[in-house]
Amino acid sequence: MKTFAIVSALAAVGLVSASPTPTEQQKPNKRASLPTVTASGNAFWAGKDRFYVRGIDYQPGGSSGNSDPLADETVCKRDIAEFKKLGVNTIRVYMTDNSKNHDTCMNLLADDGIYVILDANNPKYSINRFSPAKSYNADYLQSVFATIDEFIKYDNTLAFFSGNEVINDMPNSTLSARYVKATTRDMRQYIANRGYRQVPVGYSAADVEQNRMQLAQYMNCGTDDERSDFFAFNDYSWCNTDFKTSGWDVKVKNFTDYGLPIFLSEYGCIDNGRDFGEVQALMSSDMTGVYSGGLVYEYTYEENHFGIVQISGDTAKEMDGFTKYQSALSKYPAPTGAAGAASTTHSVACPTKDSNWLVDSTLLPEMPSKAKDYMKNGAGTGPGLDGPGSQDSGSDDIPDATPGSGVATGTPTGTSSSSSTASASDNAAGPSFNGPMNKGPFVVTGVAVLFSLIGTLLL
């Protein structure tokens, strides 16, 4: 009987300190977590180590494919093997389905030490540069927030993009910057109000000479709640040349003391072939004090001829570009230490209106009233890639917000909209989602119960 009692006591301790019994909603965390990446100063950090984006852009089928590679186990298993062989630590995925489960692919990526940067938009749910006010609405934000709900639970979710090349070389397109910046504000506020891990949010810009610096300044000006966590841009100016011929030296000079992390969300000009000399520059002291790496465009060979792998069914055939990028990553590793990174962040002055920059106000549009409910109650089930879309759901008449309106207003209540919790993290989605629970008190209590029972049995 004593043996049975002691075994029962041990079982009681196990019940006290163990994870919840797996259910259909709560699956067991079966993998060790990667260190989460944070933005601090003008750099990214994984724990105490500086983190450089050394990755590739990933969207099999291109923008016309309308598919989510992270929801297709066969596809992601095929490609993750190639990512590992290539030696990348990050992929960017342009299109995901926020109504589907991503546990398998995200966990497999984490197993191989690969982080993911996600675009929160898709073709049906995005800011329309030709009608930005109307496309900034509650339906749009519900989809954006649902994407956050789905992916923020994974430790290898590195960052979210609030938009991609919405502002281009047409001066009128700069008028949409207010709505992209408002989306960035709203995403950051949603993350804070829901009690989520502070995954960085920023914008992926086109490399347009006439508005590049003005857009960067705009994304880092104003009150803290309105500023981005980082700035990224797509740069194709290095066409198998060198640091100075490409003009990268001038860009580094212009972005020095910008105050936020900067990286290249796309790079890899194909005009003169590609040897990926950019990797050497990005990992050198010429750039590491200002830039935090970049993503080569792109993984799969599409009609634009940028890819480094040809896909045929379940087979990925490595092309010449694969070997060259693999060699560059191997030859030029990330430097150790801070490598010139600034320890503090700061804002910059907002740009003034001119012929290339038509934004004449520092005020942002007010968040739609219905979208404010998501801050407290969650976004609910996402519409996925086949939803009705949101670009015509709003109004052209949106009042201005008060500066500071994006500050977190409360703590979450109720249950998170994300039902799956099989992340690589203790930060699995659940009620209130206030981070990992401190299990110490439960373990101590369980041990106390054990010794009390054993003591009684031995009397």
| Residue positions annotated with a catalytic role | 165, 266
Dihedral (Cα; 334, 335, 340, 346), 10-degree rounding: 30
Dihedral pair phi/psi, residue 261, rounded to 5°: -60, 140
Q: Which amino acid is at 439?
A: K
Q: Where are the beta strands (DSSP E) in 350-447?
A: none
Whether the CA torsion 146, 69, 74, 322 is positive or negative: it is negative
The pair of three-digit structure tokens given for residue 108, joined into one six-digit string: 């497999």
Distances (CA, A) of 372 to 133, 409, 413: 17, 10, 14
User: Are the beta carbons of 78 and 128 closer than 8 angstroms?
Assistant: no
> What is the distance, to the nearest Å, from the Cα of residue 86 to the centroid of all Cα atoms in its chain?
21
Distances (CA, A) of 303 to 60, 91, 96: 12, 20, 21
DSSP-derived 3-state class of residue 449? helix
DSSP-derived 3-state class of residue 25? coil
Ramachandran class of 346: left when φ > 0, alpha when ψ lies in -120 to 50, beta otherwise: beta
User: Are the beta carbons of 16 and 207 closer than 8 angstroms?
Assistant: no
User: Are the beta carbons of 412 and 374 closer than 8 angstroms?
Assistant: no
User: Are the beta carbons of 106 and 116 closer than 8 angstroms?
Assistant: yes
Which has the closest alpha carbon to 236: 212, 213, 270? 270
